[in-house]
């Protein structure tokens, strides 16, 4: 009830203002703490005499309206605005907020989130201290289409194998697709139930997941025909090669020790939570950098620049064969590895904002 009341009073079309706070004036009527709608910008524009004495501070203007302006017949907002629609919006948003927990971004924050911004939604163990409970999950907004947010976890959250299908040894990986893999099952069962309440799960869309191979896909020589497998419907999944290309410009370039240019995007350079590292996620270390420099590996020119980043986080797209998958390396560029070796998990999903 406390969360519901708090968010109802703070809802606005653009931002919220609580009585008694001093913030920048907004461009639309907001519901004040006493339930009155007030547009500080409009009030300032139509009452220059008040501004001349009090300035444009929202609290000062509202206090003037309550103590003097209302009795003097001054309008608290543009009379042409249909306040009933604002009330309906606030009421609907409050009903959505009631399904979210206090650590989640509010419905209004979700609805107005822009690509490149971060929101919080759900909780998961991250600091590796289970005694203090799970921590709020931060998500990078990749897209806001007006009906849903497409988001990617800011951090690598866990260390789960993409595939556990192998013969005798992990290096003898069996052919696998996203539809069949262990990671898909884990995300849509264990992770979903652990990270999200029933109310939060209801706001996560069941999404059509396209598992087509990239247009420029090349199979390894002498490999059996490779397929991305059947398309699936998932609530939580991991990015594909094509989705990385779509949402990350990869306009920056680093040069390998062989002199060849490699495109990357800094947002693809992931860091891992302490819990994920405890679960086995590999982090590029100073020792790795020293080793790379000693034998001249591909990372030689940037070996020290990528210390602290996750070595490889898994995508769902096959690479070259049915036993390998694309991943993103510590440099923020593409790589690949056997499916049974990749264990850095950076989930993505669509959150309904309708």
Q: Mind listing the pLDDT tens digit for each residue in 193-202? A: 999 999 999 9
| pLDDT of the residue at 93 | 85
Instruction: Among 57, 74, 96, give the residue marking a domain's end.
Output: 96
Same domain, 76 and 173: no
* Whether residue 246 has pLDDT greater than 60: yes
Side-chain-side CA neighbours of residue 310 (13 Å): 35
* Whether residue 322 has pLDDT greater than 70: yes
Q: Distance between CA atoms of 334 and 240, rounded to whole angstroms?
A: 11
| pLDDT of the residue at 83 | 83
Q: Is residue 167 part of a domain?
A: yes
Q: Is residue 17 part of a domain?
A: yes
Are the C-beta atoms of 174 and 74 separated by less than 8 Å?
no
- Average pLDDT rounded to a whole number, residues 77-97: 85
3-state secondary structure of 339: coil
- Average pLDDT rounded to a whole number, residues 44-72: 95
Same domain, 134 and 260: yes
Tokens of 203: 């706001």
CA distances from 172 to 169, 183, 228 (A): 5, 18, 20
Q: Which of the pair, 275 or 165, is modelled with greater confidence?
A: 275
Same domain, 257 and 130: yes
Among residues of the chain, what percentage have pLDDT more than 70? 92
Whole-prediction pTM: 0.79
What helix, strand, coil percent values describe the chain, rounded to 5? 30, 20, 50
Same domain, 65 and 188: no
Same domain, 77 and 158: no
Question: Mean pLDDT for the chain?
Answer: 89
Q: Which of the pair, 237 or 343, is modelled with greater confidence?
A: 237
| pLDDT of the residue at 284 | 97
| pLDDT of the residue at 27 | 53
Q: Distance between CA atoms of 243 and 336, rounded to whole angstroms?
A: 16
Same domain, 150 and 292: yes
- Average pLDDT rounded to a whole number, residues 175-198: 97
Same domain, 344 and 220: yes
* Whether residue 50 has pLDDT greater than 50: yes
* Whether residue 178 has pLDDT greater than 90: yes
pLDDT classification of 69: cutoffs 50, 70, 90: very high
Are the C-beta atoms of 160 and 186 separated by less than 8 Å?
yes
* Whether residue 316 has pLDDT greater than 70: yes
Same domain, 234 and 315: yes
pLDDT classification of 5: cutoffs 50, 70, 90: very low
Same domain, 79 and 152: no
Same domain, 275 and 235: yes
Are the C-beta atoms of 285 and 209 separated by less than 8 Å?
no
Q: Is residue 103 part of a domain?
A: no
pLDDT classification of 270: cutoffs 50, 70, 90: very high
- Average pLDDT rounded to a whole number, residues 61-77: 95
Phi and psi at 136, nearest 5°, equal -60, 140
3-state secondary structure of 164: coil
Instruction: Among 74, 96, 118, give the residue marking a domain's end.
Output: 96
Tokens of 316: 């769902």
Same domain, 169 and 24: no
Q: Is residue 104 part of a domain?
A: no
Q: Is residue 57 part of a domain?
A: yes
Q: Give the range of the structural domain holding residue 202, as residue numbers without chain letter.
A: 109-354
User: Total domain count for the chain?
Assistant: 2
Q: Is residue 329 part of a domain?
A: yes
Q: Which of the pair, 21 or 351, is modelled with greater confidence?
A: 351
The answer to which of 11-25, 42-56, 123-137, 322-336 has the lowest mean pLDDT is 11-25
Which of 35, 45, 44, 47 lies closest to 9 in space, CA to CA? 35
Instruction: Among 96, 126, 155, give the residue marking a domain's end.
Output: 96
Same domain, 178 and 253: yes
* Whether residue 61 has pLDDT greater than 80: yes
């Amino acid at each position: 009830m406390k969360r519901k009341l708090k968010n109802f009073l703070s809802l606005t079309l653009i931002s919220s203002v609580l009585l008694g706070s001093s913030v920048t004036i907004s461009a639309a009527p907001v519901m004040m703490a006493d339930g009155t709608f007030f547009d500080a910008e409009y009030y300032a524009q139509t009452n220059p005499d008040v501004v001349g004495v009090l300035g444009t501070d929202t609290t000062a203007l509202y206090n003037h309206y309550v103590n003097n302006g209302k009795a003097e017949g001054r309008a608290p907002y543009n009379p042409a605005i249909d306040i009933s629609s604002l009330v309906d919006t606030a009421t609907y948003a409050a009903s959505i907020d009631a399904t979210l927990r206090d650590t989640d971004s509010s419905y209004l924050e979700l609805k107005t989130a822009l690509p490149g911004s971060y929101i919080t939604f759900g909780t998961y163990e991250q600091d590796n201290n289970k005694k203090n409970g799970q921590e709020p999950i931060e998500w990078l907004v990749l897209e806001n289409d007006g009906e849903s947010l497409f988001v990617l976890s800011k951090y690598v959250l866990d260390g789960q194998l993409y595939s556990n299908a192998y013969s005798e040894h992990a290096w003898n990986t069996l052919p696998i697709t996203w539809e069949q893999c262990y990671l898909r099952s884990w995300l849509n069962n264990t992770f979903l139930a652990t990270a999200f309440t029933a109310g939060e799960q209801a706001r996560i869309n069941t999404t059509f997941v396209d598992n087509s191979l990239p247009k420029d896909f090349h199979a390894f020589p002498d490999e059996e025909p490779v397929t991305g497998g059947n398309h699936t419907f998932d609530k939580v999944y991991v990015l594909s090669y094509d989705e990385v290309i779509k949402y990350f410009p990869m306009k920056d370039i680093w040069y390998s020790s062989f002199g060849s240019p490699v495109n990357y995007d800094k947002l693809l350079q992931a860091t891992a939570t302490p819990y994920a590292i405890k679960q086995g996620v590999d982090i590029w270390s100073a020792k790795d950098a020293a080793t790379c420099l000693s034998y001249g590996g591909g990372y030689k020119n940037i070996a020290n620049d990528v210390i602290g980043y996750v070595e490889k986080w898994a995508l769902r797209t096959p690479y070259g064969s049915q036993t390998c998958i694309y991943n993103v390396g510590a440099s923020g560029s593409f790589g690949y590895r056997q499916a049974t070796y990749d264990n850095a998990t950076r989930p993505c999903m669509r959150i309904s904002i309708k």
